[in-house]
């Protein structure tokens, strides 16, 4: 599979290594508007072709698939253009800025027959998968509720992440989506039936949310509490950490906030497993998971959360 990268930020190093580690992945091109970071990415990973115009790669029939890791405002237009050109797409989270953009991406995928996968990477972490296995085997009984975390303590991002037009929102779209999708994955991917939220800007002077709490009621009868934020004074759980409260007991993905010596939280193996799912699914002619529908479910929760918070 001949794959191109859109974007040259730090996440693209993980995706590049994932492609190079796969026996059927070939990294052929990269596009970004920043020539210095683009050249550095290409040099690090031996990418033979670079361009400042992503449309050049979207229209190139020799490229089979693209990985999109650009600002959120570009996810929908880039994904739709690539899907309409017959390419497969792996797009970074959040899938888009809004639910409407996510639905447009899914419509383009359905019309083109191309694969659309959303990079909710924590589904591929072995510790998250191990806990889902315990739940599936019934070891904990029926899950009553979950509590998940998508929080940065003592710091937060800058640049386009804090620009409402480019990002679509703040900490909820940046960090909360990790906790939402991880909870949903652990529960077996139910549908959200009701979302209540309080969101605000409490720890910074940003124009987007830096603090929030969501309560999600799922179609399987369980509920999820999700905490999201930047610049928090305390870290109660690692990124995507999730607690399970069930009729047969309690479990947690990571029962620590400062890991053992040498522990790396965002490690390459889960990104490589994610890339393997993308390439293998396309090769097999099946839908990759999480697919565009999964991404749209998360965006539906986000949409309902922002509407709920605005109505308070």
Domain borders along the chain are 2-120, 123-268+298-310
Tokens of 234: 């305390």
Spatial separation of the C-alpha atoms in residues 170 and 302, rounded to whole Å: 11
Q: What architecture does CATH give domain 2-120? A: 3-Layer(aba) Sandwich (3.40)
In whole angstroms, give the CA distance from residue 181 to residue 118.
Answer: 11
Length in residues, the chain: 312
Q: What is the DSSP string of 106-175?
A: HHHHHHH---EEEE-GGGG-HHHHHHHHHHHTTTT-SEEEEEEEEEEES----GGGG-HHHHSSSHIIII
For the stretch 31-58, pLDDT in tens is 999 999 999 999 999 999 999 999 999 9
Whether residue 291 has pLDDT greater than 90: yes
Mean pLDDT to the nearest integer, 109-126: 97
Average pLDDT estimate for 122-140: 98
What is the pLDDT averaged over residues 89-116?
98
Q: At what angle do helices 292-310 and 177-186 cross, to 10 degrees?
A: 120
- On average, the pLDDT of the chain sits at 97
- Give the pLDDT band (50/70/90) at residue 306: very high
- The structural architecture, per CATH, of the domain 123-268+298-310 is 2-Layer Sandwich (3.30)
SS3 of residue 278 by DSSP? helix
Q: At what angle do helices 177-186 and 126-136 cross, to 10 degrees?
A: 40
Tell me how far apart the alpha carbons of residues 74 and 31 are, in angstroms, rounded to a whole number: 13
Of 193, 32, 4, the C-alpha closest to 90 is 4
Give the residue-averaged pLDDT of 90-112: 98
Burial class (CB within 10 angstroms; exposed 0-12, middle 13-18, buried 19+) of 62: exposed
User: 118 has which bridge partners?
Assistant: 91
Q: Would you say residue 82 has pLDDT above 80?
A: yes
Residue 282: pLDDT band by 50, 70, 90 thresholds?
A: very high
Instruction: Provide mean pLDDT across the span 288-305.
Output: 98
Q: What is the pTM of this model?
A: 0.97
- Distance between CA 80 and CA 107 in Å, rounded? 9
Q: What mean pLDDT is predicted for residues 151-176?
A: 97
Average pLDDT over residues 191-211: 97
98 secondary structure, DSSP code: S
């Amino acid at each position: 599979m001949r794959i191109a990268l859109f974007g040259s930020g730090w996440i693209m190093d993980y995706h590049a290594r994932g492609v190079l580690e796969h026996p059927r992945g070939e990294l052929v091109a990269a596009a970004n508007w920043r020539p210095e970071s683009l050249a550095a990415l290409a040099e690090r990973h031996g990418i033979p072709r670079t361009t400042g115009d992503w449309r050049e790669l979207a229209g190139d029939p020799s490229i089979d698939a693209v990985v999109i890791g650009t600002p959120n405002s570009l996810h929908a237009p880039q994904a739709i253009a690539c899907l309409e050109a017959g390419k497969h797409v792996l797009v970074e989270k959040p899938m888009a800025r809004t639910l409407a953009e996510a639905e447009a991406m899914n419509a383009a995928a359905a019309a083109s027959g191309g694969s659309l996968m959303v990079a909710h990477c924590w589904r591929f972490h072995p510790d998250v998968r191990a806990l889902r296995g315990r739940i599936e085997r019934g070891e904990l009984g029926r899950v009553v509720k979950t509590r998940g975390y998508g929080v940065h303590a003592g710091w937060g991002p800058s640049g386009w992440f804090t620009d409402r037009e480019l990002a679509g929102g703040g900490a909820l779209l940046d960090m909360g989506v990790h906790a939402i999708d991880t909870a949903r994955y652990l529960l077996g991917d139910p549908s959200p039936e009701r979302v209540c939220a309080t969101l605000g800007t409490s720890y910074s002077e940003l124009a987007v949310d830096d603090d929030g709490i969501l309560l999600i009621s799922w179609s399987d009868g369980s509920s999820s509490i999700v905490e999201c934020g930047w610049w928090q004074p305390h870290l109660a759980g690692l990124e995507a950490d999730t607690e399970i409260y069930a009729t047969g007991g309690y479990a947690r993905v990571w029962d620590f906030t400062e890991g053992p010596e040498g522990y790396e939280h965002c490690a390459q193996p889960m990104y490589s497993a994610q890339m393997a799912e993308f390439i293998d699914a396309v090769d097999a002619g099946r839908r990759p998971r999480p697919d565009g529908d999964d991404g749209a479910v998360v965006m539906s929760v986000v949409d309902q959360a922002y509407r709920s918070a605005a109505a308070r």
